[in-house]
Amino acid sequence: MTQPLRVVVADDQTLVRTGFKMILRSEGIEVVAEATNGAEAVDAVRRTRPDVVLMDIRMPEMDGLEATRRILAGDTDGPRVIILTTFDLDRYVYAALSAGASGFLLKDVSPEHLAAAVRMVRTGDALLAPAITRRLVERFARRDATASALHRDLAALTPRELEVIGLLARGLSNAELADRLHLSEATVKTHVARILAKLRLRDRAQAVIVAYETGLVTAGGSTAPSS
């Protein structure tokens, strides 16, 4: 029997936590703990070992960004973190993605989308709206001194993998990548998996950020030629 997904909800607003908990439980997703600030979130994750954390950014005592860093620091088997925000271009969202978060949701997300998002990140995918994520990266990459920059050496990648990560950073889905490169989707998924493994990244969200922060892709979407 499949184990239910286990989630921690961290938000300082009681109504938000209660609403999300009701939605998730109605979808068969277990909420194992709630937290009203970042410190409580870190403690809840250590105690309950959830699959996914829904993390608000702006909370008292310790904000969601610092909590995300502590939860994900050096733990490749840790939970997936989804950032909750009321702003789709909040600089803290970019910093959280750099710290290892798997994506973000606006707080007015529909119940169906919320449940689908939790299931999606648990399978290892990133919760990205490519256009929004690209705007985030273009706006804040190399400019936000507080962000946890992902320093990675792209020399480990093959020319084809460099091509794939460059297109991925421009917002292409696996299907679009397959069409552009005349490959099967299965082959594209293999390339993406190898890129993540070689660069020690959690998911596509971090791959997008790496492509910009290393200069492989520049603001505006152009890809730097490989040497």
Looking at the structure, tell me whether residues 12 and 110 fall in a common domain. Answer: yes
Query: CATH number, domain at 204?
Result: 1.10.10.10
Amino acid 147: pLDDT: 43
CA angle 145–218–75, rounded 5-degree value:
50
**Using one digit for the tens of pLDDT, what is the confidence trace for 184-202?**
989 998 999 899 889 888 7
Q: How far apart are CA 86 and CA 113, in angstroms?
A: 16
pTM attached to this predicted model: 0.70
Name which of 54, 41, 150 is nearest 100 in CA terms.
Answer: 150
The structural domain count of the chain equals: 2
Looking at the structure, tell me whether residues 95 and 205 fall in a common domain. Answer: no
Query: CATH number, domain at 122?
Result: 3.40.50.2300
Looking at the structure, tell me whether residues 37 and 122 fall in a common domain. Answer: yes
Q: Which residues contact 102 (CB under 8 A, 6 or more apart)?
A: 80, 81, 82, 121, 125, 126, 127, 202, 203, 205
Looking at the structure, tell me whether residues 184 and 78 fall in a common domain. Answer: no
Residue 140, in any domain of the structure: no
Looking at the structure, tell me whether residues 17 and 103 fall in a common domain. Answer: yes
Range of the domain at 47: 6-127
Looking at the structure, tell me whether residues 16 and 86 fall in a common domain. Answer: yes
**Using one digit for the tens of pLDDT, what is the confidence trace for 75-134?**
667 899 998 887 655 567 677 777 788 888 888 888 888 998 898 888 766 666 555 566
